[in-house]
Amino acid sequence: MNCKKKKKQKHTLNNLLQYKAFSKEQLDDIALNLTKKSDSKIKNLNLLLINPHKSVLGVGNYDINVLEVALKQYDLEIQWFDARKDIRTVIQFTDPTLFGIILNTQATRLYFWTSNHWIAVKPFFSDDKETPPEIYNLDSKLPKPLKFDNIEQVYRFLGTTVYKEGGQIFIVKSKPNKDGNESE
């Protein structure tokens, strides 16, 4: 699928999956179910005003646990990137199980308020195994998807996000089938 032809989606998961796979209500339900599982003392979840898995303001900012549960529905798994390691040795754009990358960065909303912002980076592999993938920054704040010129540019972008801006990287991979091939 060619992301240049896709309409900009509002959520990182939808950008990563390349269609409107999740609504705010679906992600709210996942956050609520995670809270139910983690806090058995809560008797009436309908009265719960603060959910630790989503933004208090209801703007659709969820924590990584919600994203992980959502992506499992598509046989995708999230691996946290250890910032003590070199990005180039961990993230390989030749890995056929690499589905995408999710970044968590700090964004200034108002002069005095910062919040987390999620960004999807997605490689698009061709059928020709020798051709490097086209890789796009699918940040919802951009007017359109931004194609990286080369893999080195991607590594610089990821490195700046983690090492200079204190962001986090989550690697999204397809789960291998029983025969060792990637899921479809």
pLDDT digits (tens, 9 = 90+) for 111-134: 666 677 899 999 999 888 788 999
Q: Give the pLDDT confidence score for residue 48 in this predicted structure.
A: 54
Domain assignment present for 183? no
At 176, is the pLDDT very low, low, confident or very high (cuts 50, 70, 90)?
confident
Rounded to an integer, the average pLDDT of 11-35 is: 88
Distance in angstroms (rounded) separating the CA atoms of residues 29 and 13:
15
- Cβ count near 89 (within 10 Å): 7
Domain holding 98: CATH number? 3.90.70.40
- Whole-Å CA distances, 7 to 3, 49, 130, 136: 8, 33, 29, 14
**pLDDT, the chain, mean:** 81
pLDDT digits (tens, 9 = 90+) for 45-83: 544 555 555 554 555 578 888 899 999 999 999 999 999
The total number of structural domains in the chain stands at: 1
Domain assignment present for 179? no
Domain assignment present for 63? yes
**Domain boundaries, position 44:** 9-174
Domain assignment present for 2? no
CB-based contacts of 90, cutoff 8 Å, min separation 6: 81, 82, 171
Rounded to an integer, the average pLDDT of 93-108 is: 90
